[in-house]
Structure 1
Amino acid sequence: MEITQSYVKKKNIKSVLSDTFVMVKRDLLKTKHNPDKLMDVTFMPIFFMIVFSYLFGGAIAGDVKNYLPIIVPGILIQTLISSTSAAGTQLREDIETGVFDRFNSLPIARIAPLAGLLISDIVRYVIATFFSLGTGFLIGWRPEAGYGWLAVACVLTIFACWCVSWILAMIGILVKSAATISSVSMTLTMLLSFLSNAFVPIDTLPGWLKTIATINPVTHLVNSFKAIANHGVFGADAWLTITASLVIVAIFAPITVALYNKNV
């Protein structure tokens, strides 16, 4: 009896995984046939990296070369935070167009469409990272600790932003239009990135703003990226980022799944 139950459980898990990766493939194919959906992770990081570097580099750091260690992690993290809305936006669009009615009539795991969206988003984060750092490389930025540590910094940053995407997925279920998610994402991105050390040294800020920037989670994410990529140090900021990310998932993943099962 126990052997039979174990077999059924393994079969169910395998079925859920199979259905999920079918949904991942579906989402990636949609992106392939609608490349304009990648504008925010391809064109925008290139644009902001070049404009911010040459427009503010001299004023903030004396020249572009000295500004690159500040702006490259800042633009990367801003781009990734902005990209966290993709799953919620696509989820809302699928609900509005009745796609989920079709999914519910199919013999697939109920959680597969949601899981597929969140997993396929990782590809977007990788693309955003490539274009952000690639532009930084072309301008002259280099990771002082080497490319191995750079990979570690990128994985940590992508993981943190993927955890945040659970919040936007929850919002995608609750709101009535995809436009609302874009507005929420834009506001969140602007507040978190500009009220941090993503674009300017935190010491240049006035006292009250410095306090806000110090407790801003993006500041800790930027600090952890710089420490890992430039010094090969996986320090307190990195561990704080991991802890905060896991707390977000622990809180919002169950809520998002519960709302998904109830409303979709």
Structure 2
Amino acid sequence: MTTATTGTGTDKDTAALDFVAPKADELAALLAGHERPQRPGALSASLTFGWRAMLKIKHVPEQLFDVTAFPIMMVLMYTYLFGGALAGSVSEYIQFLLPGILVMSVVMITMYTGVSVNNDIDKGVFDRFRTLPIWRPAPMVGYLLGDVVRYVIASVVMLSVGLLIGYRPAGGAAGVLLGVALLLVFSFGFSWIWTMFGLLLRSEKSVMGVSMMVIFPVTFLSNVFVDPSTMPGWLQAFVNNNPVTHVATAVRELMAGEWPTAEIAWSLGWSVLFALVFGAVTMRLYNRK
């Protein structure tokens, strides 16, 4: 019977005594001998966080439900529910409804940005982001850039369903692309409202509740479903000055082959206003929270 031999404690102590710690100047020379990596630019950092938002969808594909099933349900439900009563036929009503319901659906989807922000705060992820040597707004801008991809998916789904049930844009592909581009710009600016709520409120449920209280009046009290000329005067005053009304009118006319200069200017103006005002409030909360 044989036994294995092992090193003794004395051998380990001897090996430890043989180790000589490097001097401070040697460590400094070693560290200084390599160039420090460049600090990432604003665009690079924002795109990186945008890619992070997309990876969330890869790992949790159920997040695409609100940009696939929800838009399909909206188009079919409102088209066949109101088409005959309001326009006499589905084929006529879809020409008016689809651009408006497209705007409404994408604007409603924007509120999930605030939910994502609040969720990351609750998990402590933002504590790590704040310590990184990056452009400070990059995490927020990254959220919005990632959501723009979701808005594109929702737009493609809704337009595909609309074409199947009879929508025919007189402006052709160019008009459709211009209308969707304007909607994406507006949605990017509008989303800053929800980043503010995501930082301000304490839970996801609070963000969802407040978002619904804001977004339902803004989207339903507009010209998405009907012409506001049939409404009472006091209601017309609100509807005609509603940002969603301006965007819906601009998108509707662009897809019809027209160029509504005033409505496009209003839509872009609202987009810039939302981004400047709520973006500033968002960053103030982000820096102090």
1:71 correspondence with 2:97: yes
- Kept in 2: contact 1:41–1:128 (CA 8 A): yes
Q: Identify unmatched segments of 5+ residues in structure 1.
A: 1-10
Which moves more between the two structures, 57-66 or 250-259? Answer: 250-259
1:148 correspondence with 2:174: yes
- Kept in 2: contact 1:227–1:235 (CA 8 A): no
Equivalences for 1:8-23 in 2 at 5 Å?
Answer: 14-23=40-49
Give the CA deviation at 1:155: 0.4
Give the CA deviation at 1:19: 2.7
Tell me how many residue pairs correspond in the alignment.
253
Which amino acid is the alignment partner of residue 258 of structure 2? G
Give the CA deviation at 1:105: 4.6
Q: How high is the TM-score relative to the length of structure 2?
A: 0.82
**1: CA distance, partners of 2:169 / 2:95:** 9
> Which residue does the alignment assign to 1:248?
274
> Which residue does the alignment assign to 1:185?
211
> Which residue does the alignment assign to 1:159?
185
Give the CA deviation at 1:14: 4.2
Relative distance call for 1:231 and 1:21 in structure 2 (3 A) is: closer
Q: Identify unmatched segments of 5+ residues in structure 2.
A: 1-36
Relative distance call for 1:15 and 1:237 in structure 2 (3 A) is: closer
Give the CA deviation at 1:212: 2.0
Q: Which has the larger radius of gyration?
A: 2
> Which residue does the alignment assign to 1:31?
57
Identity rate, percent: 38
- Kept in 1: contact 2:40–2:134 (CA 8 A): no
Between structures 1 and 2, the one with greater helix share: 1
> Which residue does the alignment assign to 2:150?
124
Give the CA deviation at 1:108: 4.4
1:171 aligned to which of 197, 214, 238: 197
Give the CA deviation at 1:118: 1.5
Relative distance call for 1:75 and 1:13 in structure 2 (3 A) is: farther
> Which residue does the alignment assign to 1:103?
129
- Kept in 2: contact 1:20–1:112 (CA 8 A): yes
Give the CA deviation at 1:107: 4.8
1:135 correspondence with 2:141: no
Give the CA deviation at 1:259: 1.3
Give the CA deviation at 1:190: 1.6
Deviation track 1:148-204 (CA, whole Å, cap 9, x = no partner) reads 121011100111111010111011100001112212222223211211110112222
